[in-house]
Each structure stands twice: as structure tokens, then as C-alpha cells.
Amino acid sequence: MDTHVALSAEKLFSIGPFPVTNSILTTWIVTLLLIAFAYFATRKIKAVPGFLQNIAEAMVEAFQDLVSSVAGDKTKVFLPIITTFFFFIIVGNYLGLLPGVGSIGFFETHDGQKTFVPFFRSINSDLNTTLALALVSVFATHYLSIKYLGLGGYLGKFFSLNPIFLFVGLLEIVSEITKLFSLSFRLFGNVFAGEVLLTTASTKLFAIIVPIPFYFLELLVGFVQALIFAMLTLVFMVILTQKNAH
Amino acid sequence: MEIVLAKGAAIAIGGIGPALAIGLIGFKAMEAIGRNPEAQGKVLPAMLIGMAFAEAIAIYALILAFTG
């Protein structure tokens, strides 16, 4: 059997006209986990925090220090979305490392070829998820830019009468598109390559001791990529909401 | 017997530039930390972000090697 990690997520069933793939199913699980944690951690807020509230406070405090060092006075507006990006991506990455995700499934026959369809799949190994995250990031950045600079200031960043600045502005529009692709492909490539690596190490080589260093590598990569996505979104937001310093 | 090199060549050649870039970023970061060990808290995150940008190019080449 040739173990092969499919590039696109496999469809499990349909709800009406809407196909549900295994990565959508895993995304629902990640979302439920995060919402449940948020609900239980903030139910009864005490001055001396209990266990879950303590963890939530540590999470928020760590990110508040990070965001305020870059954003300054706009921290309160940027903090929720940056922290959400980080925790959604890191919980998704780490859930994809659990035993059973990617390995428990069923066999399906597509015109003569038997393929393996897992029930759950690491969410960021699907380009749809990372593209959606990148779209949300870029739209949030531009929305906040319009909110802080006004429509005139926002358009003035890209279009101006001076021909040199006009050329620079057009290049910046192109760079916004490449930002979208680079954010999504960086995350997708890292996590998908990690999936292929773990599958190869677990099936083509000795499957007991050999995958252990690769699992540590994936722990590191999952954390770093989540941090990079959040930090890049933060830096782009800060740059786009700055008044013109030309 | 055919030998197909396209996928391997894509990642092999596409990985040279980012590897050099990451090495140079690390080199300069080490130098900066060595000159001023107290600046480590500022140099290290900036180095990691720079390395992530450089690594993204290698990831593009890897995607083409998987699918192209």
C-alpha cells in the first residue's frame, strides 16, 4: 500500500449541497475546544483566579506584552484578533499531532484505485483553511486601516499625484496580494510538509522510535508558524494604520 | 528507462537561496548578540521573523515539488 497524503481534503459526507471534508470536521472540533475553554475560564471571575482562569490570564498577559511592544496605543483593538489567530492556529497544529488524526479512517475506491480517507485531518494541511485565515487577516488589516485613517487617508496611501509615490502605491497594492498568498502558503506548506514527513517516518521507516524526533520538530514548527502568522498580521496592521510619514 | 528530475530539481534549486538567506540572517544575528548580549530580547524575535520570511520561499518551491 502506497501511503500518500492527499493534497486536498477528502469529502466525508454532505449536509444538503454543502460538502463536509475531514478538515472541516476537525476545524469544528478545534472551534468547540476553544469556545468551551473560553466559556469555562470566564464563567466566575475571581480576584484569586482558579485553574482555567489562571491559564487564560497567562495567555492574555503574554500577548498583551507582545502586542503593546509593537502597537503601542492601539493594543486594545489589535489584541483580540492577534491572540485568536495564534491560539486557533496552534491548537489546530497540535490537534493534528494527536494519535488518530490522519490515521483512523476508511478505504474508498475511486475508479479502481483504493485510497485511504482519514476521519480527521490537521486543519492547516488544507489550503482552504490557511487561505481563509489569510483572507480574514488581510481584510481585518484593511478594515482597521480605513477605520483609523478614514477613507481618504487609506486611499492616499496607495494613490497619490506625485508619479514616484503613485508607482510606489501601485507596488504596494501588488504587495497586498502577495501578502495574501505568502501568509496562506507559508502556513500550508509548513504543516502539509510536516504531515508528509510524519507519514513517511511512521510507515516507510521503523515506526516505533524513529518518528519521535520528527514529532518534536512538528511541535516546534507548529508553535513557530502560529507565532509568525500572528506577528506578521500584527506588523502589517501597525504599518497600515500609521499616518503617512513621508 | 526514463529519469524524471523535475520535482527533485524544483526543491533542490529552490532551496539554495533560502538556505543561504537563513544562514546569513543567523550569522548577523549572532554577531549582533555577541557585540551586545543585553540586546538579545530585541534581536532574537526579529531574527525569527526574518527567517520565517526567507523560509517561505523554500516552502513555495516545496509545494511545486509536491504538485507540479
The maximal CA–CA distance of chain A, rounded, in angstroms, is: 65
Query: Mean pLDDT, to the nearest integer, of A199-203?
Result: 82
pTM of the model: 0.87
Contact between A172 and A157 under an 8 Å Cβ cutoff? The reply is: yes
Which H, E and C letters describe B34-68, residue by residue?
A: HHCHHHHHHHHHHHHHHHHHHHHHHHHHHHHHHHC
In angstroms, the CA B48 to CA B46 distance is 5
Give the pLDDT mean for A18-34.
92
What distance in Å separates the CA atoms of residue B1 and residue A216, rounded to the nearest whole number?
A: 40
Q: What is the pLDDT of residues A117-172, one digit of tens each?
A: 888 999 999 999 999 999 999 999 999 999 988 888 888 888 888 888 888 888 88
Range A95-111 average pLDDT = 84
- At residue A210, the pLDDT reads 84
pLDDT at B42 (0 to 100): 83
Percent of chain B, pLDDT > 70?
A: 99
Q: What is the pLDDT of residues A167-192, one digit of tens each?
A: 888 888 888 888 898 899 999 999 99
Say how many C-beta atoms besides its own lie within 10 A of residue A137's C-beta. Answer: 24
Q: Which residue has the higher pLDDT, B3 or B21?
A: B21
Compute the mean pLDDT over every residue in chain A, rounded to the nearest whole number.
87
A2 pLDDT tier (thresholds 50, 70, 90):
low
Say which residue, B4 or A219, is predicted with more confidence: A219
Q: How confident is the model at residue B31 (pLDDT cuts 50, 70, 90)?
A: very high
Amino acid at residue number A106? F
Amino acid found at A218: E
CB contact under 8 A, B66 and A224: no
The interface predicted TM-score of the complex, written ipTM, equals 0.72
A103 pLDDT tier (thresholds 50, 70, 90): confident
Q: What is the pLDDT of residue A245?
A: 56
CA dist B44 and B27 (Å) reads: 12
Is the CB of residue B49 less than 8 Å away from at least one CB of chain A? yes
* Residue B26 at interface with chain A, using a CB cutoff of 8 Å: no
Give chain A positions within 8 Å (CB) of B62.
Answer: 189, 193
CA A28 remoteness from chain centre: 14
Q: Give, in order, the Cα–Cα distances in Å from B68 to each of A92, A124, A125, A215, B6.
A: 27, 20, 18, 27, 8
- Residue A27 predicted with pLDDT over 80: yes
Q: Is B42 on the interface with A (CB under 8 A)?
A: no
Q: State how beta strands A105-110 and A113-118 pair.
A: antiparallel
Q: Which residue has the cell 496605543?
A: A73
Contact at CB, B66 and A7, closer than 8 angstroms: yes
- Quick one: closest CA in A to B47, which residue? A228
Cα nearest neighbour of A69 on chain B: B42
Residue A97 scores a pLDDT above 80: yes
- Using CA coordinates, name the residue in chain B closest to A193: B62
DSSP A50-113: -HHHHHHHHHHHHHHHHHHHHHGGGHHHHHHHHHHHHHHHHHHHHHTTSTTTTTSEEEEEETTE
pLDDT tens per residue across span A48-71: 888 888 888 999 999 999 898 888
pLDDT higher than 80, residue A92: yes
When pLDDT is cut at 50, 70 and 90, the band that residue A1 belongs to is very low
Residues of A in contact with B44 (CB under 8 A): none
The structural domains of chain B, ordered by start, are: 2-67 (1.20.20.10)
- CA-nearest of A58, A33, A241 to A147 is A241
pLDDT of residue A30: 95
What angle in degrees, to the nearest 10, is found between the helix axes of A163-203 and B40-67? 70
Confidence tier at A3 by pLDDT (50, 70, 90): low
- From B31's Cα to the closest Cα of chain A, the distance in A is 23
Ordered by start, the domain boundaries in chain A are 11-240
Highest mean pLDDT among A150-154, A200-204, B63-67: A150-154
